[in-house]
A and B are shown apart, each in its own frame.
Chain A
């Protein structure tokens, strides 16, 4: 079985109605979603649902809101699959962007930022970890690579990344939140991004 980001194996004479399965690449599944194939959407959900739900939970601090965002993200994928351009980003990156954008929008619209920030500060592992979560080898390897890259960052650089990514804060807001000069926040952000990209350069091919 190939990994999700790889090209699908050539299958001669595949019948059009054959269910979209795990042997197809992400891009191939998105093409089938654009053809209104619900089985392809389900396959992408099975592949990325757990990761995207974790992201939405981290942003929103609420299981109910996160499940709603997850649903909305996949409905958006259903509606916009025909507009997906693989030259711009990988499917997984695209899905992360969709989910994060919706979660941040909801966070802002419901003005629950304070609640989420408090919850994030508590770092309750039960809230982010799920013993029942999928633990595929593929998922675990990818997660470990990202964690390794993050460990190479100084704490203050990692903090600005997390505030920007998981809380949707602008650099001005990060400066205010952390009581740090804006110029310092910008410098930390630049350095963090450069280091993250450099540390993940070998792995990014899977995510492109």
Chain B
């Protein structure tokens, strides 16, 4: 048998087919197998299928292993943020390429600045466009939810005294919040800082990503994080800003629901903030970062 699996040599007998099954197990070879079967040679598809099943069954000879408890949640978190086929998320790599430190004034080399500016603008427009579209979509969804809630309220009011006023109020508050977020991310001068898992293979949430939007007053900010795994009791995520004087200032703790993004905003930020970190800490938070780093970002770019 050659090293080329399922080369379809005339005269191959069933023994050769059996041997060929040995090498059908990579994606490349699976395609080769399919081709060989379609070729209608002397390979008996049913027999070969049996052979592949017997081959794969070798895996069952191993004692079962116990995946880490978080592995299942990580898988579900990863598939929850799998991009829709027609969607196009802004490129974090592209943003990084045109990034600069938070609250810094790195200059661009003379002669290249028009290209750099054009690249920044293109990335910024793509990012803002996507975010604006997403936020508009959220607004539409919330408006629809509000309308549905109001219709339901009307029905209930006709049956009962009072009604689910709180539900409608909640939806209205959410609508206002999304409106403020939309205003922040589309305001000229707003900077965006991508957050990524730390390099290395031990990141607690390797599929997590985040974007921090900072208004040009360097006080108002809005953070959106996706791909974090829900935590067990006794743990919380904690957000930290690295202030200009080198202190790590806590911006609070948070938890997330299964498959849901984390969204946080505030009207204050330490002076001269130059980096942002999310760590895994005991419930209630820590005085200084002590747990593993989940996400980290230190470079921001101006959107408009």
CB-defined A-B contacts under 8 Å, sample of 24: A38-B76, A45-B75, A54-B62, A58-B62, A65-B201, A67-B67, A88-B49, A89-B49, A92-B56, A93-B56, A129-B63, A133-B63, A143-B60, A143-B63, A146-B58, A146-B60, A149-B57, A162-B58, A190-B15, A193-B21, A194-B15, A197-B51, A200-B57, A204-B53
A115 at the interface (CB under 8 A from B): no
Is the pair A130, B66 in contact by a Cβ cutoff of 8 Å?
A: yes
Q: Which one of A71, A100, A186 lies within 8 Å of B19 (CB-CB)?
A: A186
**Do the beta carbons of B19 and A193 come within 8 Å of each other?**
yes
A68: contacting residue among B26, B64, B201, CB under 8 A: B201
Tell me, rounded to whole Å, the shortest Cβ–Cβ distance linking B75 to chain A: 5
The answer on a CB contact under 8 Å between A208 and B50 is: yes
**A164→B22 contact, CB < 8 A:** yes
Q: What's the interface size class on B, roughly?
A: 35 or more
Q: Is the CB of A89 within 8 A of B52?
A: yes
Q: List chain B residues, Cβ under 8 A from A129.
A: 63
B30 near A97 with CB under 8 A, answer yes
Query: For B65, what are the chain A residues with a Cβ–Cβ distance below 8 Å?
Result: 50, 53-54, 57, 66, 128, 130, 133
Q: A38-B79, A104-B26, A170-B3 are in contact. Are A50 and B57 (CB under 8 A)?
A: no
For A54, give its contact among B59, B68, B74 (CB under 8 Å). Answer: B59
Q: Do the beta carbons of A41 and B202 come within 8 Å of each other? A: no
Bound-state CA distance A149–B223 (Å) is 57
**Residue contact B67 to A49, C-beta cutoff 8 Å:** yes
Set of chain A residues within 8 Å of B76, measured between Cβ atoms = 38, 41-42
Would you call the interface of chain A mostly helix, strand, loop, or mixed? helix
Determine whether the beta carbon of A186 is less than 8 Å from that of B1.
yes
B61 at the binding interface (Cβ < 8 Å): yes
Structural contact, B1 and A71, CB atoms closer than 8 A: no
Q: In residues 82-119 of chain A, which contact B (Cβ within 8 Å)? A: 88-90, 92-93, 96-97, 99-101, 104-105
A41 & B71 in contact (Cβ 8 Å cutoff): no
Given A130-B63, A208-B50: A75 touches B19 (CB 8 Å cut-off): no
Are B54 and A171 in touch, CB under 8 angstroms? Answer: no
When chains A and B are docked, how far (Å) is the Cα of A35 from the Cα of B28?
26
Most buried by B among A50, A161, A197: A197
Which A-chain residue is minimally distant from B53 (CB atoms)? Answer: A207
If A143-B60, A189-B19 touch, does A50 touch B66 (CB 8 Å cutoff)? yes
Indicate whether A128 sits within 8 Å of B62 (C-beta atoms), given known contacts A49-B71, A104-B26.
yes
User: Closest 4 interchain pairs by CB?
Assistant: A133-B64, A50-B64, A54-B62, A54-B65
Stretch from A8-16, A21-29, A134-142 contacting the other chain: A134-142
Whether the Cβ atoms of B71 and A67 lie closer than 8 Å is yes
A197 in contact with B71 (CB, 8 Å): no
Q: B161 → chain A, closest Cβ, in Å?
A: 33
Contact assessment for A75 and B64 in the assembled complex, using a CB-CB cutoff below 8 Å: no
Residues A197 and B18 in contact, CB atoms below 8 Å apart: yes
Contact of B80 (CB < 8 Å), options: A38, A50, A135, A162:
A38
B152 at the interface (CB under 8 A from A): no
In this complex, the member of A51, A105, A162, A172 whose beta carbon has the largest number of chain B beta carbons within 10 angstroms is A51
Q: Which of B65-97 contact A (CB under 8 A)?
A: 65-68, 71-72, 74-76, 78-80, 82
Give the Cβ gap from A166 to chain B, nearest Cβ, in Å.
Answer: 8
Nearest-neighbour CB distance to chain B for A100, whole angstroms, equals 6
